[in-house]
Structure 1
Amino acid sequence: MAVIIDVPAFRGSISGAVAAAAERLLDNGDVDELEPVGGGARAVVTDGADRFEPWVGVVDRVFTGDCDCPADAGDDGLCAHAVAVALAAFEDGIKFAAAGVPHGDDDADEDADEPERAGLWQAVEALDQRELTELVVEQALRDPAFAARLLGRES
């Protein structure tokens, strides 16, 4: 399920220094190869002579970022590179999943399943709310562990 991000509130939550650095990266065209990944967005960000691949998305109900830069994380773990990717993704209309997976957190086995996962994501995104709800309820009735997770209980 996609989440709605309040972009003005997001911008207002970022410190002036981080926001200014992110805007500089965007204005200079240093954010490239933006793509939806893991329910969030990833891009290549060139900062001087360095290149980073930050990912942004929603994890545990918190908008967060994952960047390979050595800088201390800014607001809520978001460095300027991650904020630049977030702003570019908002502008580009990338949809964020309610539960994203940072690009560096996948196991090798999950990487092998990526084409299948992508196909399933595409199929789910094509469903309307009622169809998705019916599928989830049917699965919960067949699988008690799934039902327990759905209801927020330990299995």
Structure 2
Amino acid sequence: MTEEHEAGPLDDAEVRDELPEDLQPSAFVGPYIFPNNNRRRIPGVLYLILGAACAALWAVASDESPLVNGGTLLAAVLLGLIGAYHLVAGWNLDVDERDALVAATSAVGFPVGHASAQMGWRGYLSRPTWRILLYSAEMPPRQRGLVLVDGVDGQVLEYFTEDNPEDWSDLSDA
């Protein structure tokens, strides 16, 4: 126990949460590079190698060893299926958030001010999809929109626009 804690429990006002220096967003300079989905292929290959090793072990030692049985073959099949899924679901993310924002801006039909991009995945094969929330360029924004852009080929999948129902009057310049 340190000296400052020996006197008793700290008051709530004395407790401060702090991010480590390497996670401080204000210290970051430069564009953020979103991780590519094709990294899923690495564990996929590892699962396939482990599955092949289990199948080989079962084929060689299943008759002599009490430790190698049908469970080893089942593990080989399951590891093979999971590995194949990882290879198929490891889409290459060819469209970054800037390209997705350009596609979204052309789809909504109004000048865009503030926008936010979020990566999501759709379908059983986890195809990467950018979800772009945009506001019109006026202050306060009169319109907003939500656009889904495919992360593999940049195609606009769906979009929705509406008049902005939010009340921004308390944020106006006084």
Common fold, TM-score beyond 0.5? no
Alignment TM-score, normalising by the size of structure 1: 0.27
Alignment TM-score, normalising by the size of structure 2: 0.24
Q: Which has the higher contact order (CA 8 A, sep 6+)?
A: 1
- Of structures 1 and 2, the larger Rg is shown by 2
More helix by share: 1
